[in-house]
Chain A
Amino acid sequence: MNVEKIRKDFPILEKKFKGKPIIYFDNACMSLRPHQVIEKMNEYYEEYSACAGRSVHKFGTRVTEEYEKARDMIAKHIGAKKPQEIVFTRNTTEGLNLVAKSLNLNKNDVVITSDREHNSNLIPWQMLKNKGVVHKIVYSNADMTFNLENLKKMLNKQVKLVSIVHTSNLDGYTLPVKEIIKLAHDNGSLVMLDAAQSMPHKKIDVRKLDVDFLAFSGHKMLGPSGTGVLYGKYDLLEEMNVFLVGGDTIQNTTYDSHEFLKPPEKFEAGLQNYAGMIGLAEATRYLDKIGKDNIEKHEIELNKIITNGIADIKGLKIIGPEQPELRSGIISFNIEGINHHDIAIMLDDIANIMIRSGQHCVHSWFNAHKIEGSARASLYLYNTKEEAEMFIHNLKEIAKLK
């Protein structure tokens, strides 16, 4: 993998502040975009910006063609059986909400999540309490690895769904989803994966995993913001209730009746984000060309450099497993005596190093562990060893303040 060549594809990396280049380490929140994706989106606006699936003119035909091609590309990218299993959403949050609202969950049905879920995979289930749905949490081991035994003990006939994060945005740890899915399926429960943090960095094959639902976002994987995908097994999508209704979604209506379309259109209400989805498909093409395995390897390599480099900082604590290879491209940490927000502001101020600070939308975990928040550096394919070393150097300077 030629990082220098890859960097040339990202126009934003040429930006300088106060004469210094930027070091973008906030990829778990939002990735940068290569010019290929930007140009593909612009192509829509400049060459065929019309409605898909409705108008019969030249533009309408072209956009329908490109849009369905995008669906096909994304289906192939994740190994779906057919493109109809790909529901376009705005983001992972919408995908998770869609399943929470549309899956037939009834009183006393149990939904299990992990103890480090993003709010998007927590609140939708908490909200179902009104319907009598029970939300349960499977707790991790002390070293933050997943406890399969705990899950095993919780599985019973009431458990209808295990909705679980694939790679945690809190610490970068990837849960043993293959085993989780096997256990859940043996119990007759469905499994949904929040793949927002895994899809950008890992090769995922939904059929090999045999996962029932999987949601991810475009903006973390070189795609446009406001794009997301919900994958669902076709027969499950067919059985599910509608989510938002209106434009599209509908086969036919009379003044007092309506007939819904089949999936995925039945879930895609209103005019869609054509440019966005076409851009997202281009992002998957870009990622496939480089190879996600290479990306994952590169990130772990950088994570090792950073983890080893900052290990001797006094009072530094990394959240999650000790071994960098278990934390993908995420280093979530605290330095005793220095506030995490201060670390982020100072890194940005001194060396244009952009990291995230706060609770990363996993408030529940931080509250349970009585930790105020953390500073989080997250890596991607365009980050370099030099950048990692700059990060280590500057973090050490900041650590001297305590």
Chain B
Amino acid sequence: MVICIVAMIVFAILGIFSAKYRSLAKEAFRCTFNTITFRPCETNLDQRIRSRVTTKLMKTSPKIAKFTYKNFKILSWIFVILFFSSMIYSGYSIYNLVVHGSCNPGATCIFNPGQPPTKNTCVITSEFVEFYGAECPHCRKMIPVVEQVERETGVIFQKLEIWHNDTNRETFLMHAESIEKSCGFLGVPTFYNTKTDRAICGEKTVEELKNFIIKNG
């Protein structure tokens, strides 16, 4: 039965730490193999799981136990689908965490290990970012340019002030390496794309900024 597939993965992971689960993992593997070749599970592992789950539920709610026992096949399919989709999402998030430093770049970050919220790299919520300083004259000059580009392309730059805002500065510094690679220096204003990790720095024309969007969009 399909539940064996999940059992195999769970027991295999638990088997790393405890020998008790290794034999169960092997059993689940045989059962899975039989399931995918459309044969009944010889070891009754699926049946044991169904019965054990039912008896656990019987203690709290006989009605839920009855429902679970009767619909175990459907429930295990739902469980398997949820299990695999959450596994895929977790894998994707871990990949993002390693590559982008955020488990979910461009959106609200749920998982952000080891860093206090003030240093949250997830302040970036959109693909294009403009880092600026409040008193920076170049930045001020860029305001109408950015406005025009935003109007004409539909792309909105997320504007992060880094001279006074510590959190934003942290974010800026986290991307310092990529910015320096693109611009050769660190400074404001910096227009940055979070997906390609490319940047252009300093006062730019409308055309230059549009080109940056086209190349990195």
Do A and B come together as binding partners? yes
Interface on A for B, CB 8 Å cutoff?
338-339, 341-342, 345-346, 349-350, 397, 400-402
Is B66's CB under 8 angstroms from A342's CB?
A: no
Q: Is the interface of A mostly helix, strand, loop or mixed?
A: helix
Q: In this assembly, does B47 line the interface, its C-beta being within 8 Å of a C-beta of chain A?
A: yes
Q: In this assembly, does B93 line the interface, its C-beta being within 8 Å of a C-beta of chain A?
A: no
Q: Is the interface of B mostly helix, strand, loop or mixed?
A: helix
Interface residues of B in 18-68 (CB under 8 A from A): 44, 47-48, 50-52, 54-55, 58, 62, 65-66
Shortest CB–CB separation between residue B31 and chain A, in angstroms?
14
If A349-B52, A350-B58 touch, does A401 touch B69 (CB 8 Å cutoff)?
yes
Q: In this assembly, does B159 line the interface, its C-beta being within 8 Å of a C-beta of chain A?
A: no
Is B66's CB under 8 angstroms from A345's CB?
A: no
Query: 17 additional contacts, CB 8 Å, given A342-B47, A346-B58, A401-B65?
Result: A339-B47, A341-B51, A342-B50, A342-B51, A342-B54, A345-B48, A345-B51, A346-B55, A349-B51, A349-B52, A350-B55, A397-B62, A400-B62, A401-B58, A401-B69, A401-B70, A402-B66
Interface on B for A, CB 8 Å cutoff?
44, 47-48, 50-52, 54-55, 58, 62, 65-66, 69-70
Q: How far is the CA of A400 from the CA of B69 in the complex (A)?
A: 11
How many residue-residue contacts, CB under 8 A, span A and B?
36
Contacts of A397 in B (CB 8 A): 58, 62
Shortest CB–CB separation between residue A346 and chain B, in angstroms?
5
Q: How far is the CA of A93 from the CA of B185 in the complex (A)?
A: 89
Is B47's CB under 8 angstroms from A349's CB?
A: no
Is A341's CB under 8 angstroms from B47's CB?
A: yes
Task: Select from chain B the residue with minimum beta-carbon distance to A341.
Answer: B47
Shortest CB–CB separation between residue B42 and chain A, in angstroms?
12
Is A345's CB under 8 angstroms from B70's CB?
A: no
Shortest CB–CB separation between residue B47 and chain A, in angstroms?
5
Q: How far is the CA of A400 from the CA of B67 in the complex (A)?
A: 11
Contacts of A345 in B (CB 8 A): 47-48, 51-52, 55
Is A349's CB under 8 angstroms from B55's CB?
A: yes
Q: How far is the CA of A397 from the CA of B62 in the complex (A)?
A: 9
Shortest CB–CB separation between residue A73 and chain B, in angstroms?
41
Contacts of A350 in B (CB 8 A): 55, 58
Contacts of B69 in A (CB 8 A): 338, 342, 401
Contacts of B48 in A (CB 8 A): 345
Contacts of B47 in A (CB 8 A): 339, 341-342, 345
Contacts of B70 in A (CB 8 A): 401-402
Q: How far is the CA of A400 from the CA of B64 in the complex (A)?
A: 12
Contacts of A339 in B (CB 8 A): 47
Contacts of A342 in B (CB 8 A): 47, 50-51, 54, 69
Is A346's CB under 8 angstroms from B51's CB?
A: yes
Shortest CB–CB separation between residue B69 and chain A, in angstroms?
5
**Contact sample, A vs B, 6 pairs, CB 8 Å cutoff:** A397-B58, A401-B54, A401-B65, A401-B66, A401-B69, A401-B70
Task: Select from chain B the residue with minimum beta-carbon distance to A400.
Answer: B62
Shortest CB–CB separation between residue A74 and chain B, in angstroms?
38
If A339-B47, A401-B70 touch, does A346 touch B54 (CB 8 Å cutoff)?
yes
Q: How far is the CA of A341 from the CA of B54 in the complex (A)?
A: 13
Contacts of B50 in A (CB 8 A): 342
Contacts of A341 in B (CB 8 A): 44, 47, 51
Contacts of B52 in A (CB 8 A): 345, 349
Task: Select from chain B the residue with minimum beta-carbon distance to A345.
Answer: B51
